[in-house]
Structure 1
Amino acid sequence: MDDFEHISVMPIEVLRYLTPRPGGIYVDGTLGGAGHARQILEASAPDGILVGFDRDPAALKVASERLAGFGERVHLVNRNFSDMAISLAELEITGIDGLLLDLGVSSHQLDTAERGFSFQQDAPLDMRMDTTAGETAADLVNGLPERELERIIKEYGEERWARRIAQFIVTARAAAPIETTLHLVDVIKGAIPKAKWEERLHPATRTFQALRIAVNEELASLEQGLAAGLQMLNPGGRCVVISFHSLEDRIVKQGFRRLAQGCICPKNLPLCVCGHTPQLRILTTKPVMAGDKEVDHNPRARSARLRAAEKL
């Protein structure tokens, strides 16, 4: 698995905001190729602990090999990071000093045709992070009612042509099941008038994003995992999240703001009666973006948004 490549996004910024230190306990909820994890372990030497989560067995195998030199400082878990609270309890960890969530799909997953994430190569329409469980994108495309397909494509893909795409999918699958990525791409291209194709965006981009999110329940996982991780942060502990589309970024921004808020009493009350106090300090008033040099080296960093907060 030496070909498992994933260029870590904003590595300098991650360390700056996460501030790993010796003796700390850190969670990497989206381990991938272990690039960020290695940096955290090096910065927290000699005795910092890292717990890494990934539901992709292939990613976990590579991470295990790449982090083997850190010995017992590393604990790898083949689970969705939304199960963080359960997994940390099993490791008898009651508090953490840092949480990192890099929510992007790895370069390896995108570039491995048979995973079905890419609309550039023909492959089975899969898109599962964990290829051993759950429904595939083909299951959804061929089995969901038209209205549900439209909802998914509109909500998760923010696709203005969602209704037509859903209609075309239902018509196409009546003739033959849609089982490959390029078959679905052809259907989407037929649904969107060519004059309306965007210059810098493939017509299938938003629909493929929507199906990937639905297959992997990504937004629900983010809400659950982020809430669990923030609750487990020790005072002074930090959370860093890198998101790649507006739906993820909105969840992170609202989650941080909710916990950073003080009094929530109605404004017409003369005195505070709610007793609500801030639990977080937001470190990034605006999302941090990758620099031009990084984007030139790794174009996939262009859409990355980093937000960070500290537990009070």
Structure 2
Amino acid sequence: MAGGLVALLDDVAVLARAAAASIDDIGAAAGRASMKAAGVVVDDTAVTPQYVHGLNAERELPIIRKIAFGSLRNKLLIILPAILLLSQFLPWLLTPILMIGGAYLCYEGAEKIWHRISGHAEAHATVEDALPDEKTIVSGAVRTDFILSAEIMVISLNEVASEAFLSRAAILVVVAIGITVLVYGVVGLIVKMDDVGLALSQRSGKGIARFGRGLVKAMPRLLSALTVIGTVAMLWVGGHIILLGTDELGFHPLYEFVHHLEEAAHDATGALGGVVGWIVNTLGSAILGLAVGALVVLVMNLTFHRKKKTAEAH
């Protein structure tokens, strides 16, 4: 009896160790997958604060919370089942889908630049910011997040494609939850920074008050910087996805050209070769992203936007 109990406890211990090792493996794989999606995560973090810019302070966190839940719904209930089924039965479709999403990111980035150059951004912002509707803000943010979330999940899936189906699912669930918490936690900190600064500026200590005033003054610059970072990240990530996708689909010249420049920069700069090579690759991806995005903007302006303006005129 005692021997059977000891054997049972040994079996339980073995299973526990196996489960712990499996959890460690899932955590490590989720970490690797998340790192590959870092560019889109930066983009997501940079874009989201713009949706609550100009709103009353008490509305900011509730709206961000709703956007975060919408993002998690996107990832877990729509994107995750879809990409798992595709990876299991139609894996060849993942690269074209990823490239379509990359082209959309390029379009978003190029359109922001076009609006800035043409002066449409200021007029557009004035009209929309006058009476912000919470439902419209949340639905628009969740819709944009859907594309970014799909990119994150598919990029992550590509990193764990060799895993078993259940392991893939578990890893992607961890990635979905972890990245959502990270992105919207950081976004919440960013949008409340001015409120924290204002509270600190009213403290009696001179050093603390000065630091608080500095935070308040820094917020507009930070939001402007995030807008630029978000635009650049869209072009970089979208361009890189298209660069890799064309190579995987059999069209090699673009990837080989950028890869050749990256290797040349790496070899020419010695100890800084890794960093310089990465910069060259990123710059090449961003230029390709800008070219693709500009082409899509041109097509949209000549077709969809022109028809929309004509319909509004009538």
Compute the TM-score of the two structures, normalised by the length of structure 1. Answer: 0.26
Compute the TM-score of the two structures, normalised by the length of structure 2. Answer: 0.26
Greater relative contact order: 1 or 2 (C-alpha under 8 angstroms, separation 6 or more)? 2
Which structure's residues are more often helix, by fraction?
A: 2
Rg (Cα) greater in structure: 2
Which structure's residues are more often strand, by fraction?
A: 1
